[in-house]
A and B are shown apart, each in its own frame.
Chain A
Amino acid sequence: MKRYIILFLAIALTNFSCEVAQKKTKGIKVDSEAVELMEKIDAAGAYDVPDIELRTDEKYASMAKDVEPYRHVKPYKKYFLRQIEYTGSGRGIPEPENLDTVKIGFIGPIEPTVSVATGGSASHEIKMGVKMLQGCKLAIEHANAKGGYLKRNIPFELAIHNDNGLWGASGNEIIDMVYKDNCWAILGTIDGANSHIAIRVALKAEITMMNSGNTDPTFVETNIPWVFRCMSDDRQQTYLLADYMYKKLGLKRVGVIRSSSRYGRFGVREILDISRRFGSPVLIEMAYDMGLDDFSLHLDRLKRENLDAVVHWGNADDGARILNQMREMGMNQPFFACDRGLSDEFVKIAGKNAEGVVCAYPWNPTSESKRLKEFRKAFKERFNEEAETFAAHAYDGMNMLIWATQTAGLNKAKIRDIMAFRTKPWEGVTGDIILSAVMDDIGEVYLAKREKGKWNYYSRQELNIPDELPSETSEK
């Protein structure tokens, strides 16, 4: 009898707590953590900040001791270890009435610019931008199929803007999204410089920017409380790549060839720094203009250095042409590349030379996760194409924004807050997205090896990388 009473009480209690959660969120399914967080966020009002503990990291970006800058000296200050707060008055702004849709902004390179008409070339990132947009569209359509913005039963709407990359145009687009479209949050973009411009505007205009396609490490190194990234950056990916090259393979003589772009320039910063910190400074770094057919000038210089390996940071097509020309020149060194190297286009151009190539990668697209399988299926049905990395990350990023909007309501500051204060990893199609104190994804990254005509993905654990450098290469 006593057992039944306890059981009854437990069921009653569960029902009661569900009811509390439902009351707080007007019928939207949210977990108890989100309910508790929202109570504190709502209580802050226009003049205070939520009474919620700020995220604190022991190390920035989970950085290992042997890759810390100036690691033999204690720096006067270390940044990015404590979550930055939003202290403005935005939480006090009431929800507007009479809305037909809930707009979420999208900015990405999706169309050629006017410069094409005057002889310029289309952005090399359009292919990625289009995929990103498809991922976002699918997320919005899925949300609308489930009832849209549930508190008002109105649909979500994507406010789509092209990132044409000219003269800081991304800043103007963010202004339009905030002040003309009245968006509640924004996702984008890919180019590092344009992303930086966008987040500066977002900071002043007070709107959440989710990034799902820019791997520039400096993007989050700005202390802006409105910035999120749901994709592991070049810093995270390079930590794994460098450890594999130097600790596992014991390489010593490494050369770098990169695109003459912000992506290439900032992408290789970590490999340059880590190589030096590991006692094997990069012997040569060559930058090329994107879209070249002949890289002999650069490769001649690399060849003279008698390298153990070559690292490429740039787009897939350039990387494949570089690889082919290397092999033609008898340069048979291992070829390592950034995540952009891993694509069908790379394999198509590189052909059999692709075998053995190793790329850093922000996730494992061969994961057996149910979420990923469902996403792949839905994407294929919707666009009659395979989902790739930009689509998958955008789908995750957009879903995070939708979840935050559903949970927090139509208040930009609260949308930011609920994402910033959520402690649980986001269970995305790209894997678990774990945010650091600077709200950057520090989830697991992988190395992709081209083996027997397919890409195989290896985690740090699977690669069995030693903790230390081989003794003769380690820095004294």
Chain B
Amino acid sequence: MKRNIIVITFLLIVLVAQGAFAADKKMAKLPFVYTDWKHYTVKDGLPNDHIFAVKAYGDKIWIGTEGGLACLDKKTGKIQTWTEADGLPWRVVSSIDINPKTGEIWLGLFGGGLARFSGGRFDHFHQMNSGLVNDVVYGVAIENDNVWVATTAGASRYNTITGEWSIYTEKNSPMEEIWNYSVTVSKEKVYLGVWGSGVLEFDIATEKWKDYLDPDGEMEIDLYRDDGIVHVITTGVSYVEDVLWITTYFGMSRYDGRHWRGLYADETGLPSDFGNAVKGRSKNEAWFGTDWGVGVCADFATDTWVTYTMLPETHKGQVIVSRNNKILEVFDTPKGIPHNNVLWVEFDDKDVWIGTSKGLVLAKGTGYYEGLKLREVHEPKKGEIKTYAPGK
């Protein structure tokens, strides 16, 4: 009996203590935050640390660098590489896409044209042997049986069944300028991010074009924030769930087919207005790679953001969660992005791969959830953490 009283008393004490502790915990609806990061560099077998492109496909992660192509086998952790000595037509791999029907890997080569990697063989398409409009390739995307290529002097489309090439420039499309930077596809449309010409939409069925330009027509201002794309110097486009996410060097945009929304660093969790790349995960979530880190619009509906940066002095990561430009959480992580100049973002189910100026990183998404969830707020002690936001 005495023993039972002791046990019950102990349990009561524990419960009361837990309750008191829980009462101290601040809970709020917050987004998932990535805290588990794994870096890959030349030390791990990459051919170069300057990562221009990443493509996740099954168990493989294909990596385009300034010094060659790499493939990371997620099962074994081994990295295989290809350089010019191995048949890669040109060492600078700026974009990658994979044809899901055939498994063929299409590589955009920065200054080297286009390559198809299939069955261990590289086939090389360039200005002199194909309908590729220019060898300086920034983006590549598979649309049905077609390969779309964004080049510095127009876009090309290659039909892999018929072998037919189509070239799109200012002569047959509404390109005010022909400097294509990015290409993405949806079921019905192809979108080109064109430096100096905003975003161009190509209807696959009708082969008609539509352009999205900055309505004020001026380079030095954005007259109204939400009247259209924030600037015509477009660098990235990503289409998901009927929403177009866009990067420029002057801020970002979101377009749902009816409404535009301009996104700027000084009023969101974007670390900078200089957008190198964007990847939309849903109509509500997009990851922006900027020159000062990654800005994740984690829940568009509530304007909730997660900002990931690297602290240059310690090389630790820093996470800032904010809503309506008000900081909700700030904390450091032992690791984060390997460099603040972020050049590529790729989703791999719940995980995220990020290419930077100084290495590749895997953000492990164990426990990832979409949108917001009631969870404990990570509150540092006062004065413990300084926010790092030099690009603001």
Contacts and interface: CB of A to CB of B under 8 A. Distances in A.
B390 interface: yes
Nearest to A49: B390
Contacts of B116: none
A167 B315 contact: no
A357 interface: no
Contacts of B151: 168
A168 B153 contact: yes
A89 B341 contact: yes
B110 interface: yes
A87 B341 contact: yes
Interface in A79-122: 79-80, 84-85, 87-90, 92
Interface in B79-119: 91-92, 94, 110-111
A80 B220 contact: yes
Interface in B337-388: 339-341, 357-358
Contacts of A222: 195, 233, 249
A198 to B, nearest CB: 9
B220 A73 contact: no
Contacts of B196: 196, 218
Contact of B178 (A61, A85, A168): A168
Contacts of A255: none
Nearest to B390: A49
A40 to B, nearest CB: 14
Interface residues of A, number: 41
Given A167-B133, A168-B178, A196-B179, A88 B220 contact: no
Nearest to B217: A69
B222 A77 contact: yes
A18 B292 CA distance: 37
B170 to A, nearest CB: 10
A47 interface: yes
Contacts of A330: none
B195 to A, nearest CB: 6
B222 A76 contact: yes
A431 B249 CA distance: 32
Nearest to B110: A204
Interface in B213-234: 216, 218-225, 230-231, 233
A14 B227 CA distance: 59
B381 to A, nearest CB: 26
A49 B274 CA distance: 15
A396 B313 CA distance: 38
A167 B128 CA distance: 11
Contact of A175 (B110, B178, B292): B110
Nearest to A180: B111
Interface string A165-193: 00110011001100100000000000001
Contacts of A90: 357
A271 to B, nearest CB: 16
A75 B111 contact: no
A89 B225 contact: no
B310 interface: yes
Contact of A75 (B92, B221, B251): B221
B359 to A, nearest CB: 9
B37 interface: no
Contacts of B181: 200
A17 to B, nearest CB: 30
A85 B391 CA distance: 9
A79 B179 contact: no
Contact of B177 (A73, A179, A196): A196
B249 A69 contact: no
Contacts of B91: 179
Contacts of B250: 77, 79, 223
Interface in B263-321: 264, 274, 291-292, 310, 312-313, 315
Interface string B26-64: 000000000000000000000001101000000000000
A47 B358 contact: yes
A221 B250 CA distance: 10
A48 interface: yes
Contacts of A218: 196, 219
A288 interface: no
Interface string B173-211: 000011101000000000000011000000000000000
Contact of B221 (A48, A77, A85, A200): A77
B332 interface: no
A200 B218 contact: no
Nearest to B266: A77
A205 B195 CA distance: 17
A60 interface: yes
B134 interface: yes
A46 interface: yes
A313 B310 CA distance: 49
Given A73-B223, A179-B91, A204-B110, A47 B152 contact: no
A48 to B, nearest CB: 4
A76 B227 CA distance: 11
Contacts of A196: 177, 179, 195-196
Contact of B152 (A80, A84, A89, A201): A201
A78 interface: yes
B307 to A, nearest CB: 15
A46 to B, nearest CB: 6
B144 interface: no
Given A78-B220, A172-B135, A175-B136, A85 B291 contact: yes
Q: Which 5 A-B pairs have the closest CB atoms?
A: A168-B153, A175-B111, A48-B312, A75-B221, A171-B136
15 contacts: A69-B218, A69-B220, A76-B221, A76-B224, A76-B225, A84-B274, A89-B341, A168-B134, A168-B152, A175-B136, A196-B179, A204-B138, A221-B233, A222-B233, A223-B249
Interface of A: 46-49, 60-61, 69-70, 73, 75-80, 84-85, 87-90, 92, 167-168, 171-172, 175-176, 179, 193, 196-197, 200-201, 204-205, 218, 221-224
Given A69-B223, A168-B154, A218-B219, 12 more contacts: A47-B310, A69-B218, A76-B221, A77-B221, A84-B274, A89-B49, A89-B339, A168-B152, A175-B92, A179-B111, A201-B111, A222-B249
